[in-house]
């Protein structure tokens, strides 16, 4: 009986640690434009300058670029992200919807081109003039992780 309880406790401990490892996230911040987001802990920054921020791991790649247009509105964001998907010649564009998190609003589409999955998102900071285009490229097993990253964006000052 004691051995059975010990095995069960050990199994539960291992499962708990595995879940924490899988769900472990780190926060990344792009100070130049006052935006942050959460990604898996194995993400590495590749580019971080005023024109671009990129980071990735083996399953996801995130690229963010600023949109310089002071006349941009929420409606224009929808147009911008759809135009970007068309310009990039995505074969399949689906799951288009509004995105709203903390001080950011926007629009996103999910698409596929030549077997590559991508989530394209345009964001506007409601408290500043920061507008961003976000591209998250992901493998077939990582759609949920890509959505989790997309939903984690926040603005800060």
**How does pLDDT run across 15-37, given as a tens digit for each residue?**
444 444 455 889 999 999 999 99
Instruction: Name which of 36-50, 80-94, 99-113, 128-142 the model is least confident about.
Output: 80-94
98: its two tokens: 């509004």
> Three-class SS of residue 151?
coil
Q: Which residues pair with 54 in a beta bridge?
A: 47, 63
Backbone φ and ψ of 69, nearest 5°: -155, 105
Mean pLDDT of 9-16: 48
Q: What is the pLDDT of residues 75-96, one digit of tens each?
A: 777 777 877 788 888 875 655 6
Nearest alpha-carbon partner for 151 in 47, 72, 36, 48: 36
Give me the residue label for tokens 């759609």: 143
Residue 104 CA: distances (Å) to CA of 43, 101, 154: 23, 5, 6
> Three-class SS of residue 50?
coil
Q: Where are the domains of the chain?
A: 25-155
Q: What is the pLDDT of residue 6?
A: 47
Fold classification of 25-155 is Protein Transport Mog1p; Chain A (3.40.1000)
pTM of the model as a whole: 0.79
Q: What is the C-alpha to C-alpha distance for residues 41 and 22, in angstroms, rounded to an integer?
A: 9
Question: Which of 10-14, 69-73, 121-125 has the largest mean confidence?
Answer: 121-125
């Amino acid at each position: 009986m004691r051995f059975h309880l010990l095995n069960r406790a050990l199994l539960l401990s291992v499962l708990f640690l595995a879940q924490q490892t899988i769900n472990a996230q780190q926060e990344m911040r792009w100070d130049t434009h006052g935006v942050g987001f959460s990604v898996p802990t194995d993400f590495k920054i590749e580019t971080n300058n005023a024109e671009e921020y990129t980071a990735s791991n083996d399953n996801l790649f995130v690229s963010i670029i600023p949109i310089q247009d002071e006349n941009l509105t929420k409606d224009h964001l929808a147009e911008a992200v759809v135009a970007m998907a068309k310009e990039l010649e995505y074969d399949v564009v689906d799951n288009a919807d509004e995105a709203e998190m903390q001080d950011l609003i926007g629009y996103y589409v999910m698409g596929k081109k030549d077997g590559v999955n991508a989530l394209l998102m345009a964001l506007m900071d409601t408290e500043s003039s920061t507008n961003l285009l976000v591209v998250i490229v992901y493998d077939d097993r990582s759609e949920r992780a890509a959505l989790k990253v997309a939903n984690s964006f926040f603005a800060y000052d």
